[in-house]
Amino acid sequence: MKTSKKESETYWNPLVETLPMERLRDLQFKKFKKIFEWAYKRSKFHRRLYQEAGLQPRDIKSYEDIAKVPKVEKSMMRDIQKKDPFPYGDALCVPLEEVTEFRQTSGTTGTPVYQPDTWQDWEWWSEAWAYLLYAQGYRKTDRVFLPFGYNIFVAFWAGHYGAEKIGCEVVPGGVLDTEARILKIQELRATAMMATPTYVLGMADAAKKKLGIDPARDLSIRKITCAGEPGASIPSTKKRMEEAWGAKVYDHVGATEIGAWGFECVAQPGGLHVNEALFLTQLEDIESGEIIEEPGRRGKIVITALDRIAQPCIRFDSKDVAEWSKDPCPCGRTFRLIKGGVVGRADDITKIKGVLLAPSAIEEVVLSIQGLSNEFEVVVTKKEDLDDITLKVEILPDEERNRETILSQLKDQLRLKTNLGYNIEVHPCLSLPRYEIKAKRFKDLRKQG
Amino acid sequence: MDTRIKAIKKAAQELKDLSKGIPAVDCNVGRILASVKMLEINISDLLTYRI
């Protein structure tokens, strides 16, 4: 086990981040067997699920056998927590008194799911964040500002601890309002920040309009880590953020039930690495469930957290849609890349007028048009059995004179990128809803009749 | 490194045995062992699993 100084300057753990693919697979297979057995022995829920599928730990004999293990969906977790022990239910694998952390999902897709973690699990969360932040260039010399509410959602909590683990100085931006946060960033000369793409753009707007501060010129933020929305992997949104702040913007993907499983590195290769040291990430065909190993074919991501013990995450159906990249990353990590990040969610990608549409494709177009604000809203309805799609946008006040050109570009690009025609509605600037955490810009009203 | 990690783990466990229930020892040992687990994930697992 030898590593060079240069490797340690690049990777959080050069021993695993440069491990050849076949050895990573071997490690993942052996660790999968261990966590599968752990859950089988300790969780009534998991044992029931696997017994119904006719599977026992000894049946997992090869990497390929992992695909036989039934997937767990969020809806199952909601049912589990109606059982004992309160409030988590029978997927809990440790005595209740060993749980030190409570978080819950945001409830975007239904009733929130509770997530118990032991202190070891919480160390593991911050370890996963340390991998990703180190890959994004965070170092001991950084002063990291977190403009985040420190609430019941995991969001950037683990980012806080991961940055501390690296040795950064962390400033909790907690209950401050947006303007106070901007002023604190300026006062402390913070060098890095973590926020949702919506809030990153919203802060830049507020800084300019309310405080006369140009973040790119007047603040010292030089790297921003995004989560919660796909924006940092959408080229036009990333460009707007980077220009507004004069900073590199990096994406990261994770979930409360899973952990921080994917990250962009400083090479910005147009995709996200999956953390193959801590997770087993499988891509499955949305219809057939067949495992996809080859690049260029979209599928649904199914993830196992290999070391999470309180409420194990084994073959969790994330619903995130992605495809493997064919190119290795210039950073030298052997962790695979998903091309362009998560392109959508299996339950978000919807058929409109017979065409498959991912809402992120609309964001890519809207934010690529100069003269439009960062906000928009999409409403899908049904009119006499026909799908109807309305896109609401805002034209910036000083771009009103270019209104016709802007709208013409917008229509052309939408047709080109999404193969759909839209009713375009222009709304007064700042009249569309603004969001601080997860934006809800896509509204499909067809199912409401 | 693996040898040293094992030694830290053993020492922490022995410390817990010696404390006979002193919360200030047991709880801090719990935190040490969680950190040791991260060292095992990063280093020892490669040997344990013969990678």
B39 — contact with chain A (CB < 8 Å)? no
Interface test with A, best of B27, B39, B41, B50 (most A CBs within 10 A): B41
Cα–Cα dist A211/A205, whole Å? 10
Q: What SS3 string covers B24-36?
A: HHHHHHHHHHHHH
Chain-centroid distance, C-alpha A349: 16
Cα–Cα dist A418/A356, whole Å? 8
Residue A169 pLDDT: 98
Residue A108 pLDDT: 66
Residue A109 pLDDT: 66
The count of CB pairs under 8 A between chains A and B is 44
Quickly state the pLDDT bin for A385 (edges 50, 70, 90): confident
B27 — contact with chain A (CB < 8 Å)? no
Region B15-43: mean pLDDT is: 97
A310 — contact with chain B (CB < 8 Å)? no
Cα–Cα dist A272/A264, whole Å? 4
- From B26's Cα to the closest Cα of chain A, the distance in A is 13
- Peptide bond before residue A87 is cis, with ω within 30 degrees of 0: yes
Contacts 24+ apart (CB under 8 A), A57-61: A57/A33, A60/A32, A60/A33, A60/A36
Quickly state the pLDDT bin for A448 (edges 50, 70, 90): low
Q: What is the pLDDT of residues A233-254, one digit of tens each?
A: 999 999 999 999 999 999 999 9
DSSP A10: H
Cα–Cα dist A170/A157, whole Å? 11
In this complex, the residue of B1, B38, B42 whose CB is nearest that of residue A16 is B42
Region A150-160: mean pLDDT is: 93
Cα–Cα dist A421/A440, whole Å? 21
Instruction: Judge: A1–B45 Cβ closer than 8 Å, yes or no.
Output: no
What chain A residue is nearest to B31 in terms of C-alpha separation?
A119
List all residues 6 or more positions away from A5 whose beta carbon is below 8 Å from its beta carbon.
Answer: none
Region A24-48: mean pLDDT is: 97
Alpha helices in A173-280 (DSSP H): 178-188, 197-211, 215-218, 235-245
A86 — contact with chain B (CB < 8 Å)? no
Residue A14 pLDDT: 96
Residue A50 pLDDT: 97
Region A23-30: mean pLDDT is: 96
- Tokens linked to A103: 């978080």
Given CA atoms A24, A29, A32, A34 in this order, what sign does their dihedral have?
Answer: negative
Cβ(A104)–Cβ(A117) below 8 Å: no
Alpha helices in A146-196 (DSSP H): 157-166, 178-188
Residue A102 pLDDT: 96
- Looking only at the bridges linking them, the beta strands covering A386-395 and A423-427 are parallel
Cα–Cα dist A246/A216, whole Å? 4
Instruction: Judge: B45–A13 Cβ closer than 8 Å, yes or no.
Output: no
Cα atoms in the 13 Å half-sphere on the side-chain side of A411: 11
Looking at this predicted complex, what is its ipTM?
0.95
Report which of A365, A335, A316 is spatially closest to residue A128, judged by C-alpha positions.
A335
Residue A352 pLDDT: 87
Instruction: Judge: A278–B41 Cβ closer than 8 Å, yes or no.
Output: yes
Q: Which architecture does CATH list for A1-343?
A: 3-Layer(aba) Sandwich (3.40)
Region B23-48: mean pLDDT is: 97
In this complex, the residue of A27, A122, A278 whose CB is nearest that of residue B49 is A27
Residues 94 through 133 of chain A touching chain B, CB cutoff 8 Å? 118-120, 122-124, 127
A1: pLDDT strictly greater than 70: no
Interface test with A, best of B26, B31, B37, B40 (most A CBs within 10 A): B37
B49 — contact with chain A (CB < 8 Å)? yes
Instruction: Judge: B37–A124 Cβ closer than 8 Å, yes or no.
Output: yes
What are the backbone angles phi and psi of residue A282, rounded to the nearest 5°?
Answer: -115, 145
Chain B contact set for A123 (CB, 8 A): 34-35, 37-38
Region B5-16: mean pLDDT is: 98
A289: pLDDT strictly greater than 70: yes
User: Structural domain boundaries of chain A?
Assistant: 1-343, 350-448
Q: What is the pLDDT of residues A81-134, one digit of tens each?
A: 989 999 999 999 999 999 999 999 877 667 889 999 999 999 999 999 999 999
Residue A357 pLDDT: 85
Q: What SS3 string covers A74-135?
A: HHHHHHHCCCCCCCCCCCCCCCHHHEEEEEECCCCCCCCCEEEEEHHHHHHHHHHHHHHHHH
Region A313-330: mean pLDDT is: 95
What chain A residue is nearest to B37 in terms of C-alpha separation?
A120
A307 — contact with chain B (CB < 8 Å)? yes
Instruction: Judge: B41–A307 Cβ closer than 8 Å, yes or no.
Output: yes
Q: What is the pLDDT of residues B37-50, one digit of tens each?
A: 999 999 999 999 88
The fold for domain A350-448 equals GMP Synthetase; Chain A, domain 3 (3.30.300)
Chain B contact set for A127 (CB, 8 A): 38, 41-42
B26 — contact with chain A (CB < 8 Å)? no
Report which of A395, A390, A419 is spatially closest to residue A406, judged by C-alpha positions.
A395
Q: What is the pLDDT of residues A173-218, one digit of tens each?
A: 998 999 999 999 999 999 999 999 999 999 999 999 999 999 999 9
A274: pLDDT strictly greater than 70: yes
Q: What is the pTM of this model?
A: 0.89
